[in-house]
Amino acid sequence: MLREEQIDLRRQRARAGHFQIENAGKNRVFSDFRVTNPDTGGQYTVAVRGFEVGDNTCSCPDFKSNTLGTCKHVEAVLDHLKDELPAHFQKKKAPITRPEIYLHYGEQLRLGIHLPARHSDLLGQLAAAYFDDRGLWSGRGKFRDLIRDVEAIPEDVTFFSDAMDFADREIERADMLAREKEWRAELDAGTLDLALLKVPLYDFQMEGALFLACRGRSILGDDMGLGKTVQTLAAVELLARERGVRKVLVVAPASVKYQWETEIRKFTDRTVQVVEGGADERRDLYTAEAFYKLANYEQVVRDREAINEWKPDLIVLDEAQRIKNWEAKTSREVKKLRSRYAVVLTGTPLENKLEELYSIVQFVDERRFGPAFQFLHDHRVLDENYNMKGYRNLDRIREKLEPVFLRRTRGEVLAQLPPRTDNTIFVELADAQRGPYEEQRVALARLLQKNYLTDLDRKRILASVVNMRMVCDSLFLLDKQSRVSPKLEEFAELVPDITTEDHKAVVFSQWETMILEAAKVLDALGVGYAVLHGGLAGKDRKEVLERFKSDPACRVFLSTDAGGTGLNLQAADTVVNLELPWNPAVVEQRIARVHRMGQNRPVRVVNLVTRGTIEERVLRTLEAKQNLFAGVFEGDADEIPFAAAQSTGFLDSMRSLMNDAPGRTLETAERKPIEGGRETENGAMIRSQLAVPESVAANPMWHGIAQLMEATCASLADPQCAQQIPPEVRERLASATRKLAEQLARQPGAP
């Protein structure tokens, strides 16, 4: 009944489609027809061989996956022909004039054979050896033997391209499964030595790499922190050796593709090209010489045709949750990408949302779960109002998934894991964050260019640093209005992975406001949590800690640094830093709340870092084990005290950070209008002259004069302040300050 309903639905769509139909062959009826959808421009080929369901074929994706033996394009052509043909003719089928081996798109893909009435004995023997009475593949032989025997037949046998591709893939699948079995045996015996990357792999990682390489198109759903990227790179190396893979496309979120670039360069010797720029530039980059091409999902939507023209051998989808909605445009375009091999990575458990699982599996094998209508009918439980109550027959899903899906939890590979693994997740500034961040960056860069700094300057430097860090977390921390935070969006994606099964997580931020914003994310996700900050009373602290340790529903512990001192949080096995502390001691103290004596599980650390900002430079410094601010922090604090801002070492460190920040230097700091107005002509002119020689600035007598001049310049440069000064006074102040600046400039030595 269900299948009949679906066939009727396609017939209705055929009648409503207004398709343009053109006969592309010589026969008036039994021919190939081009069918064009005038609304979308899509064009497919329908081969008409009869008027019954299953007689005909179409090149569209629906025909290849729906297992019905028809589609709206086939039905549109049949309707078109029936209008012109008598009823008796519609019972005929195309005569078979030559032997053909074709691909039958039934509930299972199978080879089929068409035999003409007159054929050689050898051809008849071949058909009996490999096909059943209906002319469909019997499973009694091997595809490699079939291809060999066809070549020995005296007749010219047409082996259709999709049938040959299917046979070729099945031959390769059998060969690679045999290789996987051999390699797994060597791995278990401790004798496997493939040396795929610059670093050795844990056994479970090598197992994952073998699975991905040997299954051809597959999904890796390991827990976060188990090295899915490394396993993928190892699998690619194996496919390059065994199957000649030379062109690999990695599709990842925009903030992650640069991380792939770093990992590829770190673990392999392969060339890599990040795809970026305008449409023409991106098209050129797809054809440029590079083993790896890295693109983000948004680019795939725009560049899908250019990518398919490039013809990648292998496509990697990272963070494949991006295609979990099968109706979304991104999902539809990504699934139109073509490659022989595919690796799909997701750290989010999929078993609880079957519709999302179905959508992701479609990219790997569009027929793995059968047509969507059948899948949903077989596995969803609906109430009398057709609202979904749950799922059923999950064992059948796991059975179908097993050949292409590998997932290991941290608990399963516990014995092989190191005590601690650190991961960095990069995010990009949102458009709304870029303006405020750039204002603070430019202000800081201009201050650091000055030869002499007043106390006010130093306070402004500290304020700019704090503001930049807050903007990187959330714009709400700065303006208390705009809830714009890519970090919190990434945190929301991360939560399902770090709170599955018996996992709990501790989430740190320097700012209480950021912790409360993270709590809103958890509320929206329905995840239980506890909050601790410095203002919490001792009794309340104890209750919060006890709830996190003993309540299974309390999965996340949100804490500020001020509140987290002295905590023992071994109930968790994950630490998330919403921002990376600048003080290395604070980083380790955060992690030590979980990774400490008595912890019997490996601990994973996740740092959220905003790319292209001061945060990334601090990360690089910490990775290089450089204590850039040695002696700056007071004990275990992460706030920079004002006293430190008066030291030459701190200022030199800040200049180093700003000069080394990606794409930014002090020299490139642009002069920006002051918010709410513009610099006055007098203010701008005086500032340009105010460059105090170091030897002059070293004399205490001149400190007061310099501060007076700086205050005057600031007043004249601020339009609101300048408006409160009478014009004649403003002019006299400007003139006096200008003369004093000229006097300073003429004295290179002490005054």
Please indicate, yes or no, if residue 674 is contained in any of the structural domains: no
Q: Which residue, 306, 367, 369, 358, is CA-closest to 337?
A: 306
Query: What long-range pairs does 681-687 form, CB within 8 A, spacing at least 24?
Result: 682/716, 682/730, 682/731, 682/734, 683/713, 683/714, 683/716, 683/717, 683/718, 683/722, 684/717, 685/734, 685/738, 686/712, 686/713, 686/716, 686/734, 686/737, 686/738, 686/741, 687/713, 687/717
Please indicate, yes or no, if residue 378 is contained in any of the structural domains: yes
Alpha-carbon span 233 to 337, nearest angstrom = 20
Q: CATH number of the domain that 590 lies in?
A: 3.40.50.300
Q: What are the tens digits of pLDDT across the range 382-441?
A: 888 878 788 888 889 889 999 999 998 877 887 787 788 888 999 999 999 999 999 998
The backbone torsions φ and ψ at residue 7, rounded to the nearest 5 degrees and listed phi first, read: -65, -45
Same domain (yes/no): 306, 191: yes
Please indicate, yes or no, if residue 750 is contained in any of the structural domains: no
Predicted pLDDT at 225: 76
Same domain (yes/no): 240, 121: no
Alpha-carbon span 195 to 655, nearest angstrom = 43
Give the residue ranges of the chain where pLDDT is below 70.
348-352, 538, 562-567, 597-598, 623-650, 659-735, 737-751
Query: CB within 8 A of 9, min separation 6: which ones?
Result: none
Q: CATH number of the domain that 191 lies in?
A: 3.40.50.10810
Same domain (yes/no): 363, 512: no
Same domain (yes/no): 103, 136: yes
Please indicate, yes or no, if residue 95 is contained in any of the structural domains: yes
Same domain (yes/no): 332, 202: yes
Q: How many domains does the chain have?
A: 4
DSSP letter at 201 equals -
| Token digits of residue 70 | 């028809």
Which strands, in side-by-side order, build the sheet including 272-274? Answer: 272-274, 292-296, 248-252, 314-317, 341-345, 217-220, 405-406
Same domain (yes/no): 693, 652: no
Alpha-carbon span 464 to 484, nearest angstrom = 19
Please indicate, yes or no, if residue 545 is contained in any of the structural domains: yes
**Is 341 within 8 Å of 173 (Cβ atoms)?**
no
Q: Which of 415, 437, 467 is the last residue of a domain?
A: 415
Residue 534, SS3 per DSSP: coil
Predicted pLDDT at 697: 43
Same domain (yes/no): 410, 429: no
**Is 557 within 8 Å of 532 (Cβ atoms)?**
yes
Q: Which of 612, 639, 666 is the last residue of a domain?
A: 666
Predicted pLDDT at 727: 67
Please indicate, yes or no, if residue 494 is contained in any of the structural domains: yes
Please indicate, yes or no, if residue 382 is contained in any of the structural domains: yes
Predicted pLDDT at 384: 84
Alpha-carbon span 639 to 629, nearest angstrom = 11
Same domain (yes/no): 358, 325: yes
Predicted pLDDT at 40: 85
Q: What are the tens digits of pLDDT across the range 53-89?
A: 989 999 999 999 999 999 999 999 999 998 888 888 8
Predicted pLDDT at 563: 57
Predicted pLDDT at 721: 54
Same domain (yes/no): 573, 701: no
Same domain (yes/no): 476, 619: yes
Same domain (yes/no): 468, 325: no
Q: In terms of DSSP bridges, do strands 32-36 and 43-47 run parallel, antiparallel, or are they unpaired?
A: antiparallel
Q: Supply the range of the domain harboring residue 573.
A: 423-666
Q: Which of 105, 127, 156 is the last residue of a domain?
A: 156
Please indicate, yes or no, if residue 671 is contained in any of the structural domains: no
Same domain (yes/no): 376, 497: no
